[in-house]
Structure 1
Amino acid sequence: MNKIRLIASTSAVGLLAFGAPAALAQEAPAADGAELPSDFILVTDRRAYQGDFEEVEIPQANQLVDAEILRDTNALDLNTALDLSASAARQNNFGGLWNSFSIRGFSGDINLPSGFLVNGFNAGRGFGGPRDISGIEAVEVLKGPRSALYGRGEVGGTINLITKRPEFETSGYVQLQGGSFDFYRGDIDLQTTLDDNVGIRLAGFFEDAGSFRGSKETQRFGLYPSVRVNIGDSSSLVYELEYTSQELPQDRGVIFSEQFGFSPIRLFTGEPDALIDTEVLGHQLEFQSDFSDDWGILVGAGYRETSLVGDAFENNFGGRQPFLVDGQTISRFFRFRDYEAEYLALRAEIFGEFNTGGLRHRVIFGADYDEFDNDQVANRFRACPSAGLPGSALDPAACLLLNVNNPQYGLFPSPAAGPQLDRLETTSGFGFYIQDQIDLTDNLQIRIGGRFDDFDQELINRRAVPAAVSESSNSAFSPQAGIVFRASDALSLYASYGEGIRQLSGADFEGNSFDPNKSTSFEAGIKLDLGTMFPGVAGSATAAVFDIDQSNILIFDPRPEASGELIPAGEARSRGLEFDANASFDSGLRIWLSYAYVDAEYTNSGTDSGTFTTFEAGEQLINSPDHQLSLQVSQSFEIDEQTVQIGGGMLHVGERNGEVGADFDLPDYTIFRLFGEFEVVENLAIRLDIENLFDETYFTDSFANVWVQPGAPTTARISARFSF
């Protein structure tokens, strides 16, 4: 008789959130306590670097944005999904060309996309455009430095995207959406089986959208097929493909002047016909197997090619910007970019448990290798004088002028641009890691571990004649330690210490690679399993305090002989507290709450490598709000045997520093949303979403006072979803 298999992600399924099975394939208990047939097998996906732990046993704060909350908020992109976590704040996203965020106040390199993982693979590097949520089952926010296991993670935390994989059933949905500002989108998620051991799944989307930003338009397409092959009862092989193509303009946002305020949020300051094409083609292959009741192995490989090519008209800075003088005229410069990147990642990990002297050990040890080729060519035309003149005194063609009150696009063809950047950087790293969590008593556990990394870098500056080549290498060790006290099955107290590293891009004036960015972090908190504490409730809650110090931040080298070059000498600190809770009630009520207080500041002075402005000790880090709160509530019920769901949410973001070394702050804002969904007939649901219900004017992030991203006004979307 063929055995029945149920495939599930150990992070995305609420049943497994507090106690994933110890084996890849094993008998599963029924949810109501009834016994299932002996031929029923539960097959679970393990995630690399995570091991087999209940959430209350992990001495770090985690947050799982699962499929239900993503659907409740109709999140279509990674930025919207991360708004649900108060610990994540939006950063300057390169004019909408990629994802950029901070966690607990700290972000990565402003000239590269923020790093994130996909099923444990480092996949955020590269230039494939902003990440869509299509094909994503859940988003994990893993707070605190994770370099002791993951390696090259960000200082404040790590984002891990969990993809949709075959679940050995025939099911799916087709969804169509339309809304304000000429927004149209279609999504699919289809899966079936070829036989008892082969499952396939196909997710994808197509989007054609205008914008509240005048003539700005985007077109996006993505396709994410996957295949799973079960090999016996304890092994599986999964292949996933990622293809995304996007055509979008770079949008540097609005300009702020002390005298005239913000330029109109509906005025697009680029050119509608100046478009950027981004593309990503990625592959992941993962093999998992349990070779005994207590031990298993996970082996994987990922390869990703990305590109970003096209023209952009961007707002000028400082004295070149006449809007700061007359409030009517915006000057711009032109840039052409041709960015390409290739990323290879390999990993192998063994996990299991054993006992010594009555002590239970749960161990993870493994090794990984990655190589990142970053090829960047950029040409720039910037002929507008730095004189602080009003627009009427400037040459329109040299300054690519745009009138705020009467914008006329297409007046200036793409000008001849001179070389600005032409380089190829190849970085590679090999690391191995080990972690051991030891049960000292029934209630007390300790975690110890560490990771050793060895990095190599080659940087070719092709603008130099002849081309300048520099090579270097360095290594680092990242320890971690933690303690967990389980006061009961539902409650635990924890504390942890960790050190993190992040490899830096570029080289100093002598051609040597930079020492890695370093961090030390302390965290303590309390975790609750709400399902164990309260009948009729499923969910969890975590409260945590943290203190993180960061060093080796890239700033301009103050030495005269190194004029214009960088040095890893900046320092910063972030301290704060967080509270996260999610609860699902038998009555159909769901509540999501996330709050964070973050005090993130520089602890020394220097000159910022991105804005060329000087900061002093005590200045707040850019785009890091002191308070942030996300609240989402929904209720499901039935009317005439048809399912109805209503809900809404609130996002509050506090005041933030809007430019390094300048007296410019982004104002705080609070926006609300509502949604309702009604099942018209069986398997067909109609939904209405209204975002920014009270039409709040707000700004999500900035790079400087001339590059400020405005939020959308009141927006409505209606969708129809057919499921089977």
Structure 2
Amino acid sequence: MSMRCAVTIRLAATSLLAIGATTLPAAAQAQEHGLSQPAMPLSDALQRIGAHWNKPLDIDPDAVKGMTANAVVDARSEKDAVRQATRGLDVAVQVDTDGRIAILNDIVVVAQRDEAETNVMVRNTSTSSRLGQSLREQARNTQVISSKLLEQQQARSLQEALTNAGGVVVNTVTTLGSPTYTVRGFTSNGAVNGIASPSSSAFAAGASVPLPNIERIEVLKGPDAILLGADSLGGTVNIVTKKPSADELLYVSGDVGSFGLVRGTVDANRAISDDNRWSARIIASAGKADHNFGGYRGNEDYLFAPSLRFKNATTDAIVSATVSTQFFGMTPYDILNLTNKQLYPLPVNQPIITEDQFVRLGNTQFNAEITQKVADWLTIVARGQHLNNTVGARNYSPGARGTKAGDILFLLSGSQQKSRADNLDGYARIRFATGAVRHKILAGFNYLNTETAQNEASPSPAPVTYNILTQTPKPPLYATSFALSFTQPVTQNGWYGQYLAEFWKLHLTAGLRGNSGTTNFNIVGQPSQSYSSSKVTTNYGAVVDITDSLSVFGSVASGFTLTFVLDFNKTKLPDNRTRNAETGFKWDLFDKRVLLTASWFSLRQSTLLARDPLHRGFSIATPGQLNRGIDINLSGEPIKGLSVTAAYTRTTFKYLAPNSVIGTIIYAQPRDLYNVYASYQRPVSDTVKLGLGGGVNGNSSSSIDGFGTWYVPPSVQANLNAFASIGKLDINFGVRNLFDRINYGPTRLSLYVPYRETRNWRLTVGYRFR
């Protein structure tokens, strides 16, 4: 058997034991008494297990040489005994069709395609768990959106992808259409490849990564997500980019669709050395649309993403680059008529003022990471990231109401922003055992340095009154000259440590993170100001395996966000402190082909920043809020060919104290969020496979202001896809918003109520050359 064939993910292999094993009378008798044995050489332990259940074992001597088995406690089956004995060891367990169990070498010598590219259900995290735990083993609710699922759904933007994420609300409350989001009611700045970067711009980390280069989206919910950075209090979204592998791949696809959509993508990957240890990948895409569903400029994007990888038994090193340019046409919107509390009767496809309003995002990102196994007990990981972003905006932003019906005072917005970020993250992970207890200790350090420069239109254009009903008068031209408004350099340091202890059916974790930061405000024409803050946060978690398929978990953490926002008097607003808790269960169903996770959470923050009602453009500090709710996620393949993903979150929001400035209702946050998507594919011949997929996503109503004066109605959208694979040819035809329902997004402004997409179609054709 080749080394490559021997490589198997242990969790998937052990799930097959229940299917492949045949019960013998002697085994049934042994199960009644169970098996317990102390830690001992792995070869001896496996032989004892085989003899106890009278079953043959195929053991690779080189795979188990020098290894010590874990203690086995009251195992009721050979499957359970092997699982206990080999947990945490670099061996793979395979089951042949005749029930014979093989113990093989689990060291992956060459790089292979990640499971997120081939499966809808993902069991292992890629970069978010520094302790190397699977989703089942983590003391938090983690949801993974695979690129395979996004491919089936024909998702084309981060906003579309995150409709699969429970508890995540994508921001649509500004005319810039900024791809930012909240997780369980709190803003998250996101992460890319496990590196969390507090963002000084209106865009979250990862928003600048086009979907063709995304391998998976890890939605890290719950208290432990704070370990990835102090700014993600309710959770965070970790974008993982695609990696090279030794598999040869050349896939070309093209899209056409509504509103003049045209797109092409090339994904080329292969080993570039004779021993398959060096591999390279290039992903390139280009696409544009004539206009969006509101009649504004269509989205346009270009991507070039090369990467190089070296992988052997002890080293995994990856260097990659992402160069992209994206244009986002302004999000279509309507305006609320305060007289009758109804939206103005404007056609959905009619732009307000002009159609050429947009925001441009340019991104150049370099990543490097290395995982080095120094010894069986020691692994070192180092990551680095350099990012340059440019943002340009050109739009008319509604600012106030006039005295005449339909008169709106628009601000002629024009701005340019440049930001740079350098991020280093490294840690060492040690593992060892003392008797029946397995330990992992992790210590690491993070360094972040960013600088943002903001340019504003010069001279600042005067507001213009425009009537949205009569479409008069003719609007002024956009600004053509810009001047520096401010610069904001930020330096943050973080150190962290984690400890994991596992014994019997218990997994206990504890963590510390220290954050310190300094920022400077260099506002043109004003004295420079500098601020520094530091804080240590803690988190604790536990997982208890009730059965081989069911576990319960709980975690609690303190959080801290360094606030660098100034009020109207140029005084820094107070930092934010949080206390977050979560408890729930994880249940493997259908012979571990489906994972169900359900949890209850409670998130509390001390301070909430709100818009200053007296001074436009400034913020004030108000009492914090308490968010509590339930979060349910399901993903997997209950029967062969049928894939299902679903999520439901219900959250209750309330302020810690009444506030006359912002009201008593948490606005722009729906109480209920839900989504479900299922697809079924079946071969009809040796070369032809047909399939159908469909889903529904939506949310409950949400208040526009803190007093419940106006509400955005509930939203629901149905999507449908039909698939066909004919030899190497793939065809996917989809219709989004099948019933052409008029939906609106959450908003904080009665002057800006954003529409969600109208009915549209997409056709994707792909061909596998290799």
Q: What is residue 119 of structure 1 aligned with on the other side?
A: 193
* Residues 352-361 or 202-211, more deviating: 352-361
Hey, what does 1:368 align to over in structure 2? 446
TM-score (norm 1): 0.85
C-alpha displacement of 1:625: 1.1
SS at 1:690's partner residue? strand
| Post-superposition offset of 1:92 | 3.0
Deviation at 1:418, TM superposition (A): 9.4
Q: Distance in 1 between matches of 2:310 and 2:561?
A: 35
Q: How far did 1:39 drift?
A: 10
1:165 aligns to 2:220 (yes or no):
no
Which residue type is aligned with residue 150 of structure 2?
A: L
Give the match for residue 596 of structure 2.
541
Q: CA deviation at 1:254?
A: 1.8
Unaligned runs of at least 5 residues, structure 2: 17-82, 115-125
- Report the counterpart of residue 267 of structure 2 in structure 1: 189
- Provide closer, same or farther for how the CA distance between residues 103 and 137 of structure 1 changes in structure 2, counting only shifts above 3 A: same
| Equivalent residue number for residue 633 of structure 1 | 678
**1:261 offset after TM fit, Å?**
1.9
Secondary structure of the residue aligned to 2:272 is strand
In the TM superposition, 1:165-564 aligns within 5 A as 165-195=243-273, 196-209=276-289, 210-230=291-311, 232-251=312-331, 253-258=333-338, 259=340, 260-262=342-344, 263-317=346-400, 319-320=401-402, 325-327=404-406, 330-356=408-434, 358-379=436-457, 383-384=462-463, 398-399=464-465, 401=466, 403-404=468-469, 412-414=476-478, 422-439=485-502, 441-462=503-524, 464=525, 467-508=526-567, 513-530=572-589, 534-535=590-591, 538-555=593-610
Residue 146 of structure 1 contacts residue 153 of structure 1 at CA under 8 Å; is this kept in 2?
no
Tell me the CA shift for residue 211 of structure 1: 1.2
Code of the residue aligned with 2:221 in structure 1: it is: K
Measure the CA separation in 2 of the matches of 1:350 and 1:16: 29
For 1:199 and 1:17, the matched residues in 2 are separated by: 31
- Quick check: which has more Rg, 1 or 2? 2
Q: Percent identity?
A: 19
Deviates more, 1:92-101 or 1:473-482: 92-101
C-alpha change, 1:592 and 1:17, in structure 2 (3 Å) is farther
Residue of structure 2 equivalent to 1:393: none
Question: What is the distance in 1 between the residues matched to 2:106 and 2:437?
Answer: 34
Residue of structure 2 aligned with 1:153, choices 209, 213, 231: 231
The residue identity in structure 2 corresponding to 1:76 is R
CA contact (8 A) 1:334 1:417 kept: no
Change (3 A) 1:40 1:350: closer
Q: Shift in Å at residue 422 of structure 1?
A: 1.4
Task: Give 1 or 2: higher helix fraction.
Answer: 2
Q: After superposition, where does 1:88-167 map in structure 2 within 5 Å?
A: 88-92=168-172, 94-107=174-187, 114-123=188-197, 125=199, 126=201, 131-146=209-224, 148-167=226-245
Residue 275 (structure 1) shift: 4.3
Give 1:389's aligned residue. Answer: none
The residue matched to 2:149 in structure 1 has which SS?
Answer: helix
Residue by residue over 1:421-475, the C-alpha shift from the partner in whole angstroms, topping out at 9 and shown as x without a partner, is 8111111111111111222x4122322111111111111111x2xx321112110
* 1:519 Cα deviation from its structure 2 partner: 1.3
Change (3 A) 1:151 1:275: closer
The one-character-per-residue Cα deviations of 1:357-389 (angstroms, maximum 9, x if unpaired) are 6432222211111012121122385645xxxxx
The answer to whether the Cα contact below 8 Å between 2:191 and 2:236 also exists between their aligned partners in 1 is yes
Per the TM alignment, residue 635 of structure 1 is displaced from its structure 2 partner at its CA by: 0.5
- Determine if contact 1:340/1:375 at 8 Å carries over to the other structure: yes
Alignment of 1:581-592 (within 5 A): 581-592=634-645
**Which of 682-691 and 257-266 deviates more?**
257-266
C-alpha separation in 1, matches of 2:354 and 2:394: 9
Q: Count matched residues.
A: 674
How far apart, in 1, do the equivalents of 2:181 and 2:438 lie?
Answer: 39
CA distance in 2, matches of 1:123, 1:5: 39
Match of 1:111 in 2: none
How far does residue 652 in structure 1 lie from its aligned partner after superposition? 2.3
Are 1:79 and 1:99, in contact at CA under 8 Å, matched by a contact in 2?
yes
Q: Distance in 2 between matches of 1:585 and 1:498?
A: 34
Displacement, 1:713?
1.4
Distance 1:99 1:4, change over 3 A: same
Tell me which residue corresponds to 2:52.
Answer: none
Q: Secondary structure at the match of 1:700?
A: coil
Between 1:578-587 and 1:538-547, the stretch displaced more is 578-587
- The residue type paired with residue 501 of structure 2 is I
C-alpha contact 2:606 2:625 (8 A) present in aligned 1: yes
CA distances 1:30-77 after superposition (whole Å, capped 9, x unpaired): 575775987983567952553122333211111111123222222222
**732, 735, 740: which one pairs with 1:695?**
740
* Residues 43 and 446 of structure 1, relative CA distance in 2, 3 Å threshold: farther
| C-alpha distance 148-138 of structure 1, shift in aligned 2 (>3 A) | closer
Matched with 1:669 is 715
1:693–1:65: structure 2 CA closer, same or farther, 3 Å change rule? same
- Structure 1 residues 237 and 6, CA gap change in structure 2 (3 angstroms): farther
SS across alignment from 1:55? coil
**Structure 1 position 26, deviation (Å):** 5.3
CA distance in 2, matches of 1:40, 1:603: 52
Q: Secondary structure at the match of 1:272?
A: coil
2:626 and 2:521 map into 1 onto residues whose CA distance is: 30
- Structure-2 change in CA distance of 1:221 and 1:564 (3 Å): closer
- Determine helix, strand or coil for the equivalent of 2:745: strand
CA distance in 2, matches of 1:40, 1:49: 19
1:413 is paired with a residue of what secondary structure?
coil
Aligned equivalent of 1:598: 651
Superposition deviation, residue 517 in structure 1: 2.2
Question: Following the alignment from structure 1 to structure 2, what is the Cα–Cα distance between the partners of residues 39 and 14?
Answer: 13
Tell me, what secondary structure is at the counterpart of 1:190? strand
Deviation, 1:334, is: 0.4
Q: Secondary structure in 2 aligned to 1:291? A: strand
Q: Is the 8 A contact 1:340 1:376 kept in 2?
A: yes
2:378–2:431 contact (8 Å) kept in structure 1 = yes
Is 1:87 paired with 2:146? no
C-alpha distance in 2 between matches for 1:672 and 1:504: 40
Q: Is the 8 A contact 1:303 1:345 kept in 2?
A: yes
Q: What is the letter of the counterpart of residue 414 of structure 1? A: Y
Shift of 1:352: 2.6
Over aligned residues, Cα RMSD in angstroms?
3.4
CA-to-partner distance for each residue in 1:491-534, whole Å, 9 max, x for gaps?
1111111111223233356756444322111111011122xxx3
Aligned residue number for residue 390 of structure 1:
none
Q: Distance in 2 between matches of 1:40 and 1:448?
A: 28
SS of the aligned residue for 1:451 comes to strand
Q: Distance in 2 between matches of 1:235 and 1:330?
A: 61
Task: Find the aligned partners of 1:407 and 1:704 in 2 and give their Cα distance.
Answer: 23
Counterparts of 2:447 and 2:377 in 1: how far apart (Å)? 26
Whole-Å Cα distance in 2 between the matches of residues 24 and 241 of structure 1? Answer: 33
Listed as ranges, the gaps of 5+ residues in structure 1 are 108-113, 385-397, 608-613
* Counterpart-to-counterpart distance in 2, 1:407 and 1:14: 65
Q: Is the 8 A contact 1:148 1:433 kept in 2?
A: no
